[in-house]
Amino acid sequence: MPPEATNGASVPTHPLIISNKPHKTANTFPVYSPATGALQHHFSSASTEDADAALKSAQAAFLPWKNLPPAKKRDIFLKTAEIMDSRREELTNYMVNETGASAPWGAFNLNLASEILRDVAGRISSISGTIPQTATEGVSALVLKEPYGVILAIAPWNAPYILGIRAVIYALAGGNTAILKAPEFSPMCSTGIVTSFHQAGLPEGVLNLLAHRPEDAASITKHLIESPIIKKVNFTGSTAVGKIIAELCGRNLKPVLLELGGKAPAIVWEDADLELAAMECAVGSFLHAGQICMSTERIIVHEKVAADFEAHFKKAAAGFAPEGAEPPVLINSAGVAKNRRLLKDAVEKGAIVLHGNPEAGEGTKMMPVVVKGTKKDMDLYYTESFGPTVSVMTVSTEEEALELANDTEYGLSAAVFTKDLRTGLRMAKGIESGAVHINGMTVHDETALPHGGMKASGFGRFGSIGLEEWVRTKTVTFKD
């Protein structure tokens, strides 16, 4: 019997992709729309045998891909960007249907994904070694940059095209081959990435696609990381899972790049443009229902402008999600329940709801909520909400502002709003974060800049220096 959708119509079962070919599996898992609850499709679920097939394919493809001239790799990446652009409507629909994203968020994802492809295509020729002076007479040396081999890329669902492309493109440009492990919430988005590469002429086995049932996550991930074929791993996702990935990599002496959670602060200083700050903080807090690792979670306002800022911010928040409008969609009802639980605890311990109704919305839907007066004894103070929830706090000194901004295990992104660049730079130096944006929102990622965190937000960098993450150094000496 074919699988049935909620309306009675049959839905397809989609395969894994190994050696550029569809790869069916014994087990599958369902994918539902978080917006409607409707069954979208079933997707193939990898076993350890399927994972081994992908590993074998990637290993066989490594040497030919490593030796392919950079210009040919460049042309494949540029063609991939063209193909993704030509498939925009299809790829947007995958993202909207699988993750509940708005069409504008889908468009932003695809625009940046294409930009990343083109940017990296232009950087391939920048990989270079050196010829250093040696201390030994009659001996010369070369320092070479070489790819690792087969890498494992694990990308999340919340920005599937940006993060999926980012997870593989720097490694591929460095001469590595890759296995992309798709998120169970959005495997067709990952399929769209991989098939676009293949349509552009990426050779067989250079990029393979795996996915699995949620209950198989631990065993399949462990199997892949423990394989001697995998030489390096990158993971973007929660800090809790990142710790597990890091532990597995550590036990197996595998290098790993981690981009994890965040609790991004935005400092609004007494000389700030309050209208600008309010709008940037609203977008930074509520874009994609707050389901971005860089989302603004703490707004730290100087007490002299607190009342004026709150008025501007409530207006900006109301404009972002007007009363009576359909609430934003979260990936699942568990995300809504988590945010409501955090808000309930905060209010019971003295926080005040400044804007929004925590109970507005049903199922996977929730309206933005702003609370004031969050304290250390409240769960919301330290916990990443990963939803449309933000706290407003007031301070009287720069020292207090920096203490609040840094009083978190995370350190991914931050913002400072001030008209005095000296103040902004001084605060930026004092904030423990991988990035600080002066007079801009905390959600900021572009190809020309390094991207990554510190503390529990991970280590390593994507972006402009991302190619260096995926080549290792080899020293060669020779007697003259």
Catalytic positions, please? 259
Decide: helix, strand or coil at residue 247: helix
Distance CA 439, CA 449 (A): 17
State how far the Cα of 241 lies from the Cα of 119, in Å rounded to an integer.
30
Q: Measured between alpha carbons, how far is 422 from 63 in angstroms, rounded to an integer?
A: 51
In degrees and rounded to multiples of 5, residue 99 shows phi and psi of: -115, -5
C-alpha 346/C-alpha 339 separation (Å) is 11
DSSP string, 379-413: HHHHS---SSEEEEEEESSHHHHHHHHH-SS--SE
Closest CA to 123 of 177, 67, 161, 71: 71
Residue 156 CA to residue 432 CA, distance in Å, equals 25
The whole-angstrom separation of Cα 297 and Cα 388 is: 9
Question: What is the residue whose two structure tokens read 């800049």?
Answer: 449
Structure-token pair, residue 353:
């709801």
Burial of 128 (0-12, 13-18, 19+ CB in 10 A): exposed
Distance CA 287, CA 271 (A): 26
Distances (CA, A) of 155 to 12, 64, 139, 322, 336: 23, 26, 45, 32, 22
Kindly write down the DSSP assignment for every residue of 18-55, as one continuous string.
Answer: ETTEEE--SEEEEEE-TTT--EEEEEEE--HHHHHHHH
Q: Burial of 129 by CB count in 10 Å (0-12 exposed, 13-18 middle, 19+ buried)? A: middle
Place of tokens 């063209």: 82
Distance CA 468, CA 455 (A): 21
Angle at 151 between CA 202 and CA 111, to 5 degrees: 55
